[in-house]
Amino acid sequence: MVQRGAARGKPDPDWSALENDGIAVLRHTRHDRKLKRGALEGNRFRIVVRELEGACGGLEARCAAIRAAGVPNYFGPQRFGHGGRNLQEASRLFADPRRRFDRNKRSLYLSAARSYLFNRILAHRVGNGSWNRAVEGDAFMFTGSNSFFKADELDEDIRRRIEALAIHPSGTLWGTGDPAISGAALEMERAALAQCAEFREGLERCGLELARRALRLPVPDLEFARVDDSACELAFSLPAGAYATTVLRELVEFDPQGLPDA
């Protein structure tokens, strides 16, 4: 493979330094282009879950249910940093917008705050059972796309497409601009974020533009295999921006919302 740019002529890194009991480097190659942010299409996971309590049969049935219906599309707790540190730093940024932060860290803190608000919206709709069904005023996103649309009415076609995992209700990624939703959907978001004025107003002052994210994450290729009586192996693919932890939390005892204290 042709080597260009800064990597040309340089020796390969010592990948063996990464290897330990839990990590093995199977293959590595050079590429002639730099991997840019946004270039990732997705990830394939293969995870062994050990020390399970109870029969694996229930877990296998749950995997089948997830293949059919998807899971709530939470941002994983790792988004918020150890102990919610990224949210704490976001609060510091919003309290003093003139405070100087490293550019990458500033972006990380803003993303954490926005993800936290989205998770609250999603948790609210999980609580009332509407995260995977249409309500008045919803905007819907297509599977595998960032595009969304607002239906004139919630007819049988919309319900059929939701059931088929072709479209999904969406939640707000906070910022300035048209909320794109109305009616019951807007009222639910307002209720979910009523106590979050600091983050809402802070994100607006920092100039982030409103975007949307699907409330549901399809996992159609979720595979289950027993390893022994107390362990199983899970394998599945997720698009960029989705978290394996959001799938695991629906299968095993895990952080119920991914919502550290702000």
CATH of the domain at 170: 3.30.2340.10
Answer whether residue 108 is part of any domain.
Answer: yes
CB 188 within 8 A of CB 130: yes
Confidence grade of residue 261 (pLDDT, cut at 50, 70, 90):
very low
C-alpha 252/C-alpha 229 separation (Å) is 15
Answer whether residue 223 is part of any domain.
Answer: no
> Residue 7: is its pLDDT beyond 70?
no
Answer whether residue 27 is part of any domain.
Answer: no
Report the half-sphere exposure of 261 (CA within 13 A, side-chain side).
Answer: 1
Answer whether residue 202 is part of any domain.
Answer: yes
CB 174 within 8 A of CB 208: yes
Task: State mean pLDDT over 51-63.
Answer: 81
Task: State mean pLDDT over 102-126.
Answer: 96
More confident residue, 204 or 25: 204
The count of structural domains within the chain is 1
Task: Quote the pTM value.
Answer: 0.84
Confidence grade of residue 102 (pLDDT, cut at 50, 70, 90):
confident
Q: What is the pLDDT of residue 55?
A: 65
Selection from 216, 170, 169, 220 nearest residue 65 by Cα:
220
Q: What is the pLDDT of residue 35?
A: 64
34-38, 208-212, 244-248: least confident range: 34-38
Answer whether residue 5 is part of any domain.
Answer: no
Cα 222 from chain centroid (whole Å): 17
Q: What is the pLDDT of residue 40?
A: 66
> Residue 79: is its pLDDT beyond 60?
yes
> Residue 39: is its pLDDT beyond 60?
no
Answer whether residue 187 is part of any domain.
Answer: yes
* Average pLDDT score over the chain: 87
Answer whether residue 150 is part of any domain.
Answer: yes
**Domain range for residue 136?**
77-211
> Residue 172: is its pLDDT beyond 70?
yes
pLDDT tens profile 23-34: 777 777 777 776
C-alpha 230/C-alpha 61 separation (Å) is 16
More confident residue, 256 or 141: 141
Answer whether residue 191 is part of any domain.
Answer: yes
Beta-carbon neighbour count of residue 162 at 10 Å? Answer: 19
